[in-house]
Amino acid sequence: MIEFCGLKLRHPVINASGCFDVLAAARVFGDELFEQFPFAAYVSKTITLRARAGNPPPRLWESAAGLINSIGLPNGGLRAYLETDLPALAAALPVPLITNVMGSTPEEVGEILDALEAEATVAAIELNVSCPNVATGLDIGADPDGLEALLHHVRPRSSKPLIVKLTPNTADVAACAAGAQAGGADAVSLINTLRALALAPGGSGAWLGGGSGGLSGPAIRTVALAQVSRVAQRVTIPVVGMGGVASGADARDLLDAGATLVAVGTESFRDPAAGSRIARELDDGFTQIAH
Amino acid sequence: MSAPFGRRHAPLLIRRTYGPYVVLGAGDESARAQPGQFYMLASAERWGGGDGERPYLARAVSVMSVGDEGLMEFLLEEVGPGTKRLCELEVGEGLLIVGPLGHGFDEPDAGVEPLLVGGGIGIAPLVAVQEAWGGQALLGFRDAEHAKAAELFTDPLVSTDDGSRGHHGFVTELLEAELAKQSRPIYACGPPAMLHAVRAVARTHEVDCELAVEAPMACGFGACYGCVVATVDGYRRVCVDGPVFDGAVLA
Ligand SMILES: Cc1cc2nc3c(=O)[nH]c(=O)nc-3n(C[C@H](O)[C@H](O)[C@H](O)COP(=O)(O)OP(=O)(O)OC[C@H]3O[C@@H](n4cnc5c(N)ncnc54)[C@H](O)[C@@H]3O)c2cc1C
Ligand SMILES: Cc1cc2nc3c(=O)[nH]c(=O)nc-3n(C[C@H](O)[C@H](O)[C@H](O)COP(=O)(O)O)c2cc1C
Ligand code: FES
């Protein structure tokens, strides 16, 4: 049993946001999904105040041992999440729910936190701060002082554990983590995808409909290890480590670097039950895994 | 019916070729696929290290035939590093499979023999349709060498782009001729331009058409939101809401 922000978890492996849609997976795999649920907690994809259609296709590009995505955070918006998703999740989920949210202004984030406050199904909130600031073009979480100020504004709006999902696209991720802690975050999670560009074959410009994208998978594993280890040395709050985890040995490396939990993202695309395998391999202390 | 949860190992039991196309038969006792459904496939060994240091993700491949006693057959055409690796597998080697996935073709009304319109590698799911429910196959290929895959069907009509076999021209011309004789629903799979033309013909003749579409996929089970197509209700995930869509729904 693992204790994380007051949640009691069966093992240290959860899913990375946007990399597992439990309601879609239930339609595909039926009850077996819940009998062998791969994660110790379930993190939703990013929910925004208003519905978003997401980016035009193509949304995916396969790179060397990795994936560049430009999905564009499609979601039905806060109201649809409360009315449709939450009741379905409450009925189905065998593990605690962490709802991932994003807003382009402190007011927007505050409004979302207010609405989630009364929802008992939501055990914790993960705040995605990789949203581009319209004025600067930088991610809102890329500046440590700005991130601390955002947290000071929104933290009082929620009594639930608040995990800040840091952006890796910044000069000093440890300083951002310290800013999140100073602003009242209960935990930080990292890394989100690294900004990346895929060119269309034949020289006709960007391949992805959204322009640039975010790189995930084994290609970012060593970057994740470096960032998680620097952040864990800098803050005293728990750290959720992710980025390219595909085996128990990869998960072990992040835990050894100071993470309390690890999240599995892209590897679940290759094997929907990857979370269970990784948790089992961790448990066995198994280190020699082919992937 | 739901798919077994997770990725599993399946031995390669059959490999044969039709011109440039490769049929792979895998042992999968646990599942019964519907025509139009697909699997995510990868080789158990040496998946990666090809062109561009790929493949990394599994590849979506339609169920071509659901044989007896847990034999699942697939039809492949080499177009990149993933299909190259799958096509070079030999009997006795292993596949990693997830599936069956997706929403397939609807069963036709009793007594109705649909028209099965396939282009190139898009003929694959139509083999399963004809096995399950019958229907007249209308197949379009580049040339006679590719058209060797027409052997997978019973009594197909064939067209080729270069006229080296069958009708010289587009498969939609065969479709027009059949619809002129008798109005019946269309099941189609093929390149986007062909599907576009099939939809136009279906509209003109006021017949239903079900289209199996393709999109690049990372997961195949609704997790990544990477595989969307535009429909009249906005973007829909091809892997869970398709790959078969009513032609009238696509934007
Ligand atoms: C539901 C469904 C069923 C399918 N059924 C079959 C089938 O039965 N048989 C079959 O042979 N194929 C089938 N396909 C198609 C097959 O999954 C794709 O063509 C697959 O991408 C091939 O992988 P590859 O590595 O061989 O080629 P790729 O290198 O992926 O090239 C295929 C196309 O993808 C694009 N592309 C090129 N490089 C990249 C990159 N780095 N990242 C992303 N895209 C790139 C280009 O447009 C290229 O023409 C199906 C696809 C779907 C969605
Ligand atoms: C297709 C895709 C969609 C994602 N969607 C989200 C999202 O909605 N919110 C979020 O905070 N992170 C999102 N991420 C980032 C992941 O949660 C994770 O931080 C990143 O992919 C690194 O982990 P991985 O290498 O194990 O995939 C997404 C990643 C991918 C590949
Ligand atoms: S392929 Fe991932 S959602 Fe369809």
Give CA–CA dist B170/B166, Å, rounded: 11
pLDDT reported for residue A287: 47
pLDDT of residue A220: 98
Q: Is residue A178 part of a domain?
A: yes
**φ, ψ (nearest 5 deg) of residue A248:** -60, -35
Question: Average pLDDT of chain B?
Answer: 96
Q: What is the percent of chain B where pLDDT is above 70?
A: 99
Residue A35 lies in a domain: yes
Cα–Cα distance for residue pair A3/A60, rounded to 1 Å: 36
Which CA distances in Å does A67 have to A216, B55, B216? 5, 11, 12
Compute the distance between CA of residue A267 and CA of residue A66 in angstroms, rounded to an integer.
10
Nearest atom, ligand 1, residue B55 CA: 25
**CA–CA min distance B246, chain A (Å):** 20
Q: Could you tell me which residues are beta bridge partners of residue B236? A: B229
DSSP B127-166: HHHHHHH--EEEEEESSTTGGGGGGGSSS-EEEESSSSSS
Q: Which of B5, B8, B43, B214 to mutate: most A Cβ within 10 Å?
A: B5
Task: List all residues of chain A from 46 to 65 with a beta carbon under 8 Å from chain B.
Answer: 53-54, 57-60, 62-65
Retrieve residue A237's tokens.
């709050």
User: How many beta-carbon pairs under 8 angstroms link A with B?
Assistant: 125
Which chain B residues touch A276 with a CB distance below 8 Å? 6
In the prediction, which pLDDT does A290 show? 43
Handedness of CA B94, B95, B98, B100 (dihedral sign): negative
Q: Does residue A289 register a pLDDT over 90?
A: no
Check A268 against B219: CB less than 8 A apart: yes
Quote the domain boundaries for residue A270.
Answer: 2-54+71-195+216-290
Could you tell me if B77 and B135 are in contact, meaning their C-beta atoms sit under 8 angstroms apart?
Answer: no
**How big is the CA angle at A48 (ends A42 and A49), to the nearest 5 degrees?**
130
CA distance A81 to chain B (A): 17
Q: Is residue A204 part of a domain?
A: no
Structure tokens at A22: 């439990």
Return the exposure string of A232-260: e unless at least 16 CB atoms fall within 10 Å of the residue's CB, then b. bebbebbbbbbbbbbbbbbbbbbbebbbb
Confidence of residue A203 (pLDDT cuts 50, 70, 90): confident
Handedness of CA B158, B151, B208, B183 (dihedral sign): positive
Asked if residue A137 has pLDDT above 80, the reply is: no
Portion of chain A with pLDDT greater than 70, in percent? 98
User: Per the domain annotation, does A209 fall within a domain?
Assistant: no
The DSSP symbol for A206 reads: B
φ/ψ (deg, to 5) at B193: -65, -40
Q: Nearest-CA neighbor of B58 among A72, A45, A271? A: A271
> Residues with beta carbon inside 6 Å of ligand 1?
A 60-62, 201; B 38, 55, 59-62, 74-77, 79-83, 121, 124, 214-217, 243
- Chain-chain contact of A60 with B2 (C-beta, under 8 angstroms): no
| Ligand 1 centroid – CA B48 distance (Å) | 15
* Minimum-distance ligand 3 atom for the alpha carbon of B228: 4
Q: Is A176 a catalytic site residue?
A: no
The per-residue pLDDT for B31 is 62
Could you report the per-residue pLDDT of A146-201, keeping only the tens digit for each? Answer: 999 999 999 999 999 999 999 999 999 999 999 999 999 999 999 999 999 999 99
| Domains of chain B: residue spans and CATH | 8-101 (2.40.30.10), 105-212 (3.40.50.80), 214-251 (2.10.240.10)
Is the CB of B56 less than 8 angstroms away from the CB of A218? yes
Determine, yes or no, domain membership for A201: no
Band of pLDDT at residue B29, cut at 50, 70 and 90? confident
First CA to last CA distance, chain B: 29
**Number of domains comprising chain A:** 1
Q: Report if residue A78 sits inside a domain.
A: yes
Question: Per the domain annotation, does A206 fall within a domain?
Answer: no
CATH at A125: 3.20.20.70
The answer, yes or no, to whether residue A262 has pLDDT greater than 60, is yes
What is the mean predicted confidence (pLDDT) over B203-213?
Answer: 97
Nearest to A64 among B54, B98, B217 (CB): B54
Measured between CA atoms, how close is B54 to chain A, in angstroms?
A: 6
Secondary structure (DSSP) of A86-103: HHHHHHH-SS-EEEEE--
Give the ranges where chain B is alpha helix by DSSP (H). 81-87, 124-133, 171-181, 192-205, 238-241
ipTM greater than 0.90: yes
Q: Work out the average pLDDT over B213-226.
A: 98
Q: Does any domain span residue A32?
A: yes
